[in-house]
Every structure is written in C-alpha cells, then in structure tokens.
Amino acid sequence: MVLSEIVHSFYYDPEIRELEKRLKQPLCFLSPKDWQPIVNQRLSKIFPSKTLRKAVIGLLMPISLEVVMWGYDHREVNNGFFSCMDMWHCFRWNSQGIIDREQTVKLIVAERNIRMMDRFFLACNYKLKESIQEMWNNMPEDDKGRVTGTVHSPIVDRWVHCLQEGNVPETRELVEAFLRVRPMYSECSISAGLRVLFPDLSKEDRLRCLMCSIRHREIHPDDLRYCLSQLDTNLQTEVYRAHTFWVLKSFLHWPVQSAFLDLADNMWDFLTKVDFGDLLHVILCQIIMKGWEDFDYFYILQTFWCQSPSRLRDSVKEARIYESLRTVLDHKGPLPFSLDLLSNFKCNCHLNDKIIYIE
C-alpha cells in the first residue's frame, strides 16, 4: 500500500473525524500542537516505525486541505466541511494523493439519496451530458421551476435554456457562460469543471478561461498545472506575466511543490519586489511557521532565495521579516530546524492562509 493510501485510510478513522469535530476545525486549520500528539499516539498503535508515523502526519494536513478545497469548490452539495465529510465514501483519490474530481462528481451524481437539483447543478458544471439529460427528463415540474428560478451559475442557466429548447449547448456557449460566472453567486467554483472543458477549447479560449479562473482566485493547483501544460510557450508566458504571484503561490501546494523552483526560474523577469516579498512571507509565515511538513519547504525557501536576482534580495533586507528569514536561510543542519528560533517573530497571517483562494 502506497503512503498516500495509508494516509487516506487513516484520515477517515473515526477517532480523527471525532477529533476534528471536537476542535470544530479541519486539521489544516489547526495548529499542529493541538492535534499531532493525539494523532501520533493513535498512530503508534498501528505503525511501530517512527519514520512512517512522521510521514503520515506530514501528509494529513494537505489531505485535510484537499477535502476543504473540494468542499468549497462544490458548495452546492454541502453546507461546509463537516457536511462535506459525510460524502467521503464518494471521494476518489488519484495516485498523486488528491481527489479525482471528475470521478468523484460522477459518483455523487449517481447517488439517489442526494437531491436531484444538487446533482443536476454538479452534472452541468462537469459537462456530464447523459446524466444531465436523464435527470432533466425525470425531474418533477416543481423542481424544474425551482432550477430555473434559482440564482446560480450561467453554465447551469445555459444548460437549462438549451434543454428547454430540446437540445444541448455548444462548446462556444459554455465558454461564454463560463466567462460570465461570478463566484459569489455560484453554487460551484468558477473553475470546478474547467479541466473537463479545457480539451475542447481553442487556444484563445483556453487562455481566456484560465486567466478568468486565476483572476477570481478559483482554480485548484493541480488543475492549474494541467491547464498550463496544455498551453504553448507563448501563452504560458502571458499567464506568468499577468499573474506571477498567484501562479507561484499555487505551486506551493501539494502535489505540485516540486515544480515551484523550476517555474520560478522562468518568472524572475516578471516578479516584482512586492511579489517577491509576499512569496517569502507565504513560505516562511504561512507554511513553515504553521507546521506544514508535506514537503521540504526549508529547501524551497533557501534555494528560492539563492536563485533570486540581487535586486529582489536587496529589496527585503530592511523588511520586518528579514531577521527571521535570515535565521532560516542560515540553517544548515544536520539537526532539524527548531521553530522555537522564530518564536519572537509575529507574522500577520491566519492558519487558513495557505489556501490559495479562500481568503
């Protein structure tokens, strides 16, 4: 069994579920000192290896965050994190340790105990043509009236309009609907179904839809990685130039952190002094000081600093963060870095600030 499968299995353990409910927050929003001793004690009964226990604990926070982001992006079928966890049996995880959103949505759409309207909204956003038509044909007239009278995504509106006309929307219609989505009025994240739509788009529409998703701060890190990989070099450069900070910040999330440094090397010309300082703040304050251990963030921070142009390094030497930053940069090991060395530095961020689009 691979490590991610072990972590997923353990995360669904009733004691972990009860721990989160008692603390009234998912693990990724909690300080590790509030839950790691309890979890470590529970793990010690299952895994005698201290190394394995440490690896499992390190991945629990990104797994928890993955569930939180899924719940936020599909808010039409849940009422928050704990409601979302009631659907854990539908979650399908891929080999990278993240939720396979398309397969998960297909399972939820097939769940008859979930309201048809909710399943219909999901199916529309994920372009599940056969399920959409079947549900529409079987939907009571009262529910059809509620669907047409509900404020929701223009994508759903487009599907409903076409179904009423006896047809299905063209890709061009879905693109224009996608670009009209306003997240605050939508039951679903603007980019929840972007990955499904992307292969059918022209180069120009791929760029438009991706730019729109990033602008609204609503795209999953792995979806961003995928969408960027489908653009040619010139279009990638347009995205990097327009959204330098947000693209790089997204690549500090599991499971795409290994690409962060290479990506940064392609973006130094676009990175402003403000963006550079903000990224250092994210890595130091929002990740390292909050106890994230799913990747070697010390290596990322030290290498990012060493590879950066002197104009950027010089710009932060008078900043309040610099003394604490220097403490981390100067750490050479072999002993693990102690966060107690940063105890006098108070960073202005919250436990949930690592999330790229829940602000």
Rounded to whole angstroms, the Cα distance separating 263 from 247 reads 9
DSSP code of residue 286? I
Name the nearest CA neighbour of 76 among 170, 187, 215, 241: 187
At 182 the pLDDT is 61
% of residues, the chain, pLDDT over 70: 86
Rg, the chain, Cα only: 22
At 189 the pLDDT is 63
Rounded to whole angstroms, the Cα distance separating 281 from 53 reads 29
At 297 the pLDDT is 95
Instruction: Report residue 262 CA to chain centroid gap.
Output: 20
**CB within 8 Å of 41: residues ≥ 6 apart:** none
pLDDT, one tens digit per residue, over 245-300 is: 999 999 999 989 999 999 999 999 999 999 999 999 999 999 998 889 999 999 99
Lowest mean pLDDT, pick from 115-124, 140-149, 340-349:
340-349
What average pLDDT does the segment 19-24 reach?
Answer: 86
pLDDT, one tens digit per residue, over 44-90 is: 888 888 888 889 999 999 999 998 888 888 876 665 555 666 677 88
Q: Is the pLDDT of residue 27 over 80?
A: yes
**CB within 8 Å of 172: residues ≥ 6 apart:** none
Q: What is the pTM of this model?
A: 0.86
Residue 61 · residue 292 · CB < 8 Å? yes
Rounded to whole angstroms, the Cα distance separating 359 from 353 reads 7
At 218 the pLDDT is 78
Burial class (CB in 10 A: 0-12, 13-18, 19+), 69: buried
Q: Is the pLDDT of residue 130 over 90?
A: yes
At 252 the pLDDT is 96
Residue with tokens 């879905």: 174
What average pLDDT does the segment 124-146 reach?
Answer: 91
At 233 the pLDDT is 96
What is the SS3 assignment for 251?
A: coil
What average pLDDT does the segment 162-173 reach?
Answer: 93
Burial class (CB in 10 A: 0-12, 13-18, 19+), 22: exposed
Cβ of 133: how many Cβ atoms within 10 Å?
A: 14
pLDDT, one tens digit per residue, over 213-224 is: 898 887 899 999
Q: Is the pLDDT of residue 197 over 80?
A: yes
At 345 the pLDDT is 65
Q: Is the pLDDT of residue 124 over 70?
A: yes
What does each C-alpha distance from 309 to 61, 127, 269, 325 come to in angstroms? 33, 45, 9, 17
At 276 the pLDDT is 97
What is the SS3 assignment for 73?
A: helix
What average pLDDT does the segment 327-354 reach?
Answer: 67
The amino acid present at 225, given as its one-letter code, is: R
Residue 77 · residue 87 · CB < 8 Å? yes
The mean of the pLDDT values for the chain is 86
Rounded to whole angstroms, the Cα distance separating 86 from 259 reads 33
